[in-house]
A and B are shown apart, each in its own frame.
Chain A
Amino acid sequence: MTAIMEAPPAEEKAPRRVALRPGAWIVWGSVVFFLLILLGVVGAVVVNSFGRKWFGGWLPKGWTTHWYGATWKEFDLSGVLTVTLEVALAVVVVSVLVGVPAAYALARRNFPGKRVLMVAFLLPILIPPITYGVPLATVLYKFHLAGRLSGVILANLVPAVPFVILVMTPFIEQIDPKIEAAARMCGARTRVIFTRILGPLLIPGMLAAAILVLVRTVGMFELTFLTAGADSQTLVVALYYSVSAAGIRAQQETDAMAVIYTLSMLVLLVAALRFVNPTQLVTQIKERD
C-alpha cells in the first residue's frame, strides 16, 4: 500500500500522482531532505579530498589527487589496511566458528538456564561498547594483550560472537529438525548430518553472518580505539587520530583518508547486500518476502 494506492480512488481526470496527499508529501519531502543532507555530508568530504585549496566558495580552487598519496604515506595506510583486514578476517572466522555451534544448540534445545544464557549473549550487544570496553581494556592490559593485534581481535570478538549467535539462531530454527531426523532414518551418522545436510543448508546464513560481522568490525571504533597500540590500529581509528591531529596536517589529507575508508566500507556494503537484506544490517529480524 504505497502513497499512490492511498490516493482517493479514480477521480478519472486527475493523474494519479498529483493526487498524493499532503501527508505523503511531507513524508517523502523529509526523506529527500534527509538524503540531501547525507549527500552533503559525504560529498563535502569527497570534494575536499580532491581540492587544492578550499576557503569559502562553493567549490575548491583547482583539483588534485595529491592528498591521497600524502595521506597514504604519512599514515602508513598500507600497514593500517593490512591490520584492518587481519583483524576483520580473524574476528569473522573465530566468531563464526564459535557462534554457529552455539546457535545450533540454542535453536534446537530447551534447557534449564537457557534464558539466562540468552541474556548473557545479548548483553554485549545491548550495552554500549564504551561501558564494557573500559574494563575489558583494563583486563587486556593486565594480561599484556592490549596494544597488540591479538588484543584488538579479542576485544572485537566480544560483540561479534553474540551477533553471529543472534543472526544464526533464527536461521537454524527455520530449518525443520525433521530434516535431520529424516537423514538419520536414512542411516546418516551425526558427522554426516553436519557435513552433508546441515552444512549446505547453513551456508547462506553463515555467509550473511560473516559479512555482517565484517562490516561491523571494520566500522567498530570504540573497542579498537580502547585496545589498539600504535601498530595495531584499524582504519577507523587511524582516521579518528588524524582528525584529532588536525592543524598539524592538512585537512584534505584527513578527508582523503575518510574517502578511502568510505570506499572500503561501500565495497563491503555492496558485497554484503548481495547476501543479505538491508534490514539485516541493523537487526537480526529477517524480512521474508
Chain B
Amino acid sequence: MAAAPAVARPRISLRHRLAERGVDRTLLLLLPAVVFVVALFIYPFVYGLQLSFQPQAGSDAANKYGTGPFADYRLFFSDPYLRNTIWTTLKIGLPAALFNVLASVPIAYRMRGRFRGKRAVTTILVVPITLGTVLTAEGLLAFMGPTGWLNRILLDLGIVDHPVRLTHNYWGVVFSLVITGFPFAFLLTLSYLTGIDPTLERAAATLGAGWWQRFRHITLPLLAPGLAITFCLSFVLAFSVFPSAIMVGEPARQTRVISIAAFHAAFEQYDYSMASAIAMIMGAVELIVIGLVLGWRARLYKGATGGKG
C-alpha cells in the first residue's frame, strides 16, 4: 500500500481541494436529514405555493375571479372577512408577544443570579409550555368563566357587580397566549441574561453607575439581540394561535385568526388551493414581522457577552 504514490497524486490533490472546503465523506451523514427536509418540508411548501396559484374550479375564488393564477389571492384581499384575519391575528399576536417579552425582562433580571429554589421556579414555569394550548384553554374556560373561581373572587371582594366576561372573546385568547407564552419568553430571556458576564456590571458599579444606569448602559445593550430573538420566537407562537382562538375565543368574529381561515378553507370547504394561498400569506406576514425585527437586530452589537452562555 506504500507503493501507490506517483499515479495517485492528482487524485489526492482533488480530494484535498474539496476537503479544504469542508467537502468530504462526513457530509454523507447529512444526506438523510436533507432528503427528509426536502421531501417533507420544502416539497410540500413548494407544492402548496404552486397550488395557491391554481384556483380550484367551482371554488368561490374561481367563480368570482376566474381561474387566473392570482384568483385566490385576489379573493383573500378583497373579501374583508378573509382580509381582516391578518389584522385580527396581528392584534392578538403582537401585543401578546410584546407583553411576554417586556414582562420577562424585569423578572429575569431579578432572578438572573443563583438563589435557592431557582430550579423550582423555572420548573413550574415550564409546566404551561408542556401543557400546551388545548389544556390551557380548557382550564381558562373553567377558571375565568362566568362562574369560575376568578369571577367569584372578584364578586366576593366587591370589585365587580357582574361577572366579567373574560372568555369567548379577545381577552380569553390573549390570556391563553400569555399563560403559555410568558414562561417561554421568560426562560429564553433568563438564559440570555445568564450568558452576560456579571463582572461587567460590577465593573460599571465601580465606575459609579447606579442600578438603572448599569441596566440601561451595560445589560440592556448586551441583552437586546437576545430579546429580538425572544420576541421573534414568542411572536411565532402567538401568531400561529389556533386551538385557543377557537376554544376560548370567539372564532366567528373577534378572534377569527388567519390560521382558522386556512383550516376552514382546507378541511371544511376542501378548497386546498385557497387554503394554501392563506397559508402562504400567513407565512409571508409572519416573515415580514420577523424580518423587521431581525433587521433591527442586525444593527446591534452581537459579539461576545463575556459570559458562559
Q: Write the residues of chain A forming the contact surface with B, with a CB cutoff of 8 angstroms.
A: 1-6, 23-24, 26-28, 30-31, 34-35, 37-38, 40-45, 48, 55-56, 58, 97-99, 101-102, 104-106, 108-112, 114, 117, 120-121, 123-124, 126-132, 134-139, 154-155, 157-158, 161-162, 165, 215, 219, 221-222, 225-226, 236, 239-240, 243-244, 254-255, 258, 261-262, 265-266, 268-269, 273, 278-279, 281-283, 285-289
Contacts and interface: CB of A to CB of B under 8 A. Distances in A.
A54 to B, nearest CB: 8
Contact of B191 (A26, A43, A114, A287): A287
B131 interface: yes
B81 interface: no
A20 to B, nearest CB: 10
Contacts of B132: 219, 221, 236, 265
Interface of B is mostly: helix
Contacts of B296: none
Interface in B22-42: 22-24, 26-30, 32-34, 36-37, 40-42
Nearest to A269: B130
B282 A3 contact: no
Interface string B182-197: 1110011011101100
B187 A282 contact: yes
A20 B281 CA distance: 50
Given A123-B41, A134-B279, A255 B142 contact: yes
Most chain A CB neighbours (cut-off 10 Å) among B49, B138, B286, B308: B138
A260 to B, nearest CB: 11
B239 A120 contact: no
A152 to B, nearest CB: 13
B30 A41 contact: no
Contacts of B136: 41
Contacts of A34: 182
Top-9 shortest CB links A-B: A135-B48, A128-B240, A41-B139, A102-B33, A111-B22, A44-B142, A101-B29, A278-B122, A44-B143
A268 B131 CA distance: 11
26 contacts: A23-B110, A27-B106, A30-B107, A34-B182, A38-B124, A41-B136, A41-B139, A43-B143, A45-B138, A102-B29, A105-B26, A105-B30, A117-B30, A126-B236, A129-B240, A131-B259, A131-B283, A136-B48, A139-B44, A162-B37, A239-B134, A261-B134, A265-B131, A278-B123, A286-B309, A288-B309
Contact of B33 (A98, A154, A225, A239): A98
Contacts of A26: 106
A36 to B, nearest CB: 10
Contacts of A162: 37
